[in-house]
């Protein structure tokens, strides 16, 4: 990416977006002259089905769109072409009582491809299909690479080879990877589509939650998937090697549909090897020079892999003062910095670190979360204040050298889960790190802890990684269980506090 993206937004299309929409569409279809929607078409779509028209913006500019109609299932079953499905641009085929969400267009500006923004549009369509209780999403996809093989392959053979990954088609391959399956081949579908020889593939995604009885589907997300990264300390030649290893893990947990990726505290420490000839305090200040480039690259990963990333922690210099900080890189393109509040004696003695002076909950697309770095979880006041702000999940990136140090983090994290009726996810570094002073050995076991009541595991442990082994831990947590616990639990710790006798408040 040439420039840093600051904000990604997916929302419904507004008529005021038309100029930017047109510009992006022209750039997206250079091979098809005048293939953009006219303003009266967009006005009509917005008047009959506004919730079905989606756009994605990068830094306030429309760079992609997905347009849809609701049609009768019988219409989809018939052989049809593009003009027929859109009622010759009158959209008379739209029926609010139909069963099928029919995609009539989707595109991403060429300059923003490779960021998986198209996948976001498809995911938003799937959510809309579920919310409207429609039976399926159907659309006819182009096969733009077919013209290269038309002399030796029939459309059917071409599609089979794409499905078997013997050939790649930029449209069909993408659609198949998004869980769409082929229904039939349509001939003479889109006039002027010479690249596809005017063939199209009718594709379908089935809504498994579809109910023939008219019933609204709860759109609020309840199941959140966590991806915890148990990071092996290893020698790294440069920061690009760190990015390569980090991207591998982000790709893995994102591939399993994780909403969050959690990295450990000070997982960037191997980069200090180049400064081992300096004092420990000087070496870690040299490491701090990498923090902003790391934040920027992780923000790009968050966008590209559509996942919220908690970057563990790293040293950070502010006005000459050294802090231990991390970044919450959200998949919408924004980021926020958090501080370690309590600094261990080791960090003070060897590095001269100072504690931060602010902490809060963070709003995400999966609800409110809290982040405390290692030692901070051993101070119950912090997490109680975060719980008062509505925290559902507490993330704890940590770094411990010995098993007894890890035990402190583990048992304090378990206590925080019980007393604050929330989930607590912890992840640390493992292995040895020669040639880096004050970072010789590490011990960790990534885990997700729960409250202790009937809806949760009897030992309060949702899942644990293998100790001292590099791996990922992927865990689903259900926020609805927390809601029920708060109101109907065997005990109600948050509600039953004697605030008439004691209270905890932030002093600033």
Burial category of 497 from C-beta neighbours within 10 Å (exposed 0-12, middle 13-18, buried 19 and up): middle
Q: Count of CB atoms within 10 A of residue 263's CB? A: 29
DSSP H helices in 257-325: 280-287, 291-304
Token pair of 313 as six digits: 């922690």
Burial category of 197 from C-beta neighbours within 10 Å (exposed 0-12, middle 13-18, buried 19 and up): middle
Residue partners of 44: CB distance under 8 A and separation at least 6: 90, 91
Of the candidates 42, 25, 21, the residue with the CA atom closest to the CA atom of residue 33: 25
Q: Count of CB atoms within 10 A of residue 477's CB? A: 23
Active site residues: 265, 340, 374
Cα(189)–Cα(74) distance, integer angstroms:
18
What 115-120 contacts at long range (C-beta under 8 Å, 24+ apart), as own/partner pairs, is 115/1, 115/5, 115/303, 115/304, 116/303, 116/304, 116/305, 116/306, 117/8, 117/56, 117/58, 117/63, 117/64, 118/64, 118/174, 119/178, 119/306, 120/10, 120/56, 120/306
- The owner of tokens 């733009």 is 144
| Distance, CA of 180 to chain centre | 21
Token pair of 422 as six digits: 């929330």
Using only C-alpha atoms, what is the Rg of the chain?
A: 26
Q: Are 129 and 71 in contact (CB under 8 A)?
A: no
Instruction: Report DSSP state, residue 159.
Output: H
Backbone phi and psi for residue 468, each to the nearest 5 degrees, phi listed first: 55, 35
Token pair of 322 as six digits: 């050294």
Relative to beta strand 308-310, strand 321-329 is antiparallel
Which H or E run includes 143? Answer: none
Cα(364)–Cα(169) distance, integer angstroms:
35
CA distances from 31 to 22, 34, 202, 373 (A): 15, 10, 22, 52
């Amino acid at each position: 990416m040439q420039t840093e993206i600051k904000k990604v937004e997916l929302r419904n299309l507004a008529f005021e977006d038309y100029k930017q929409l047109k510009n992006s569409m022209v750039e997206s279809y250079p091979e098809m002259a005048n293939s953009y929607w006219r303003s009266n078409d967009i006005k009509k779509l917005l008047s009959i089905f506004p919730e079905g028209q989606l756009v994605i913006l990068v830094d306030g500019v429309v760079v992609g769109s997905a347009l849809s109609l609701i049609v009768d299932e019988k219409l989809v079953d018939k052989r049809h072409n593009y003009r027929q499905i859109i009622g010759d641009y009158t959209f008379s085929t739209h029926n609010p009582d139909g069963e099928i969400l029919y995609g009539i267009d989707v595109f991403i500006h060429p300059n923003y491809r490779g960021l998986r923004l198209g996948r976001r549009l498809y995911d938003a369509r799937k959510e809309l299909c579920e919310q409207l209780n429609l039976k399926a999403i159907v659309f006819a996809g182009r096969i733009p690479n077919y013209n290269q093989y038309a002399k030796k392959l029939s459309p059917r053979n071409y599609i089979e080879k794409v499905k078997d990954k013997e050939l790649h088609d930029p449209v069909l391959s993408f659609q198949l990877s998004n869980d769409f399956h082929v229904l039939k081949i349509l001939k003479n579908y889109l006039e002027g589509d010479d690249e596809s020889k005017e063939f199209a593939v009718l594709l379908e995604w089935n809504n498994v939650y579809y109910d023939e009885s008219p019933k609204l589907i709860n759109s609020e997300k309840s199941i959140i998937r966590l991806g915890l990264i148990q990071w092996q300390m290893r020698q790294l030649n440069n920061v690009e090697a760190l990015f390569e290893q980090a991207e591998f893990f982000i790709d893995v947990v994102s591939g399993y549909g994780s909403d969050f990726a959690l990295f450990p505290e000070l997982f960037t420490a191997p980069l200090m090897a180049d400064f081992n000839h300096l004092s420990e305090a000087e070496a870690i200040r040299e490491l701090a020079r990498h923090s902003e480039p790391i934040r920027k690259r992780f923000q790009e990963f968050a966008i590209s892999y559509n996942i919220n990333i908690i970057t563990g922690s790293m040293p950070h210099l502010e006005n000459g003062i050294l802090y231990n900080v991390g970044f919450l890189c959200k998949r919408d393109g924004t980021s926020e910095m958090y501080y370690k509040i309590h600094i261990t004696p080791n960090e003070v003695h060897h590095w001269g670190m100072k504690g931060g002076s602010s902490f809060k909950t963070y709003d995400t697309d999966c609800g409110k979360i809290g982040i405390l770095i290692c030692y901070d979880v051993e101070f119950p006041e912090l997490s109680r204040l975060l719980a008062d702000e509505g925290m559902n999940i507490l993330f704890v990136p940590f770094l411990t050298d010995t098993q007894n140090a890890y035990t402190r983090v583990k048992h304090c994290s378990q206590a925080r889960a019980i007393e604050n009726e929330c989930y607590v996810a912890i992840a640390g570094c493992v292995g040895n790190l020669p040639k880096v002073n004050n970072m010789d050995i590490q011990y960790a076991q990534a885990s997700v802890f729960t409250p202790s009541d009937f809806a949760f595991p009897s030992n309060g442990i949702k899942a644990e990684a293998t100790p001292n082994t590099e791996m990922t831990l992927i865990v689903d947590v259900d926020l609805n269980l927390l809601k029920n616990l708060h109101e109907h639990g065997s005990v109600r710790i948050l509600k039953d506090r004697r605030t008439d006798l004691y209270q905890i408040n932030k002093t600033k």
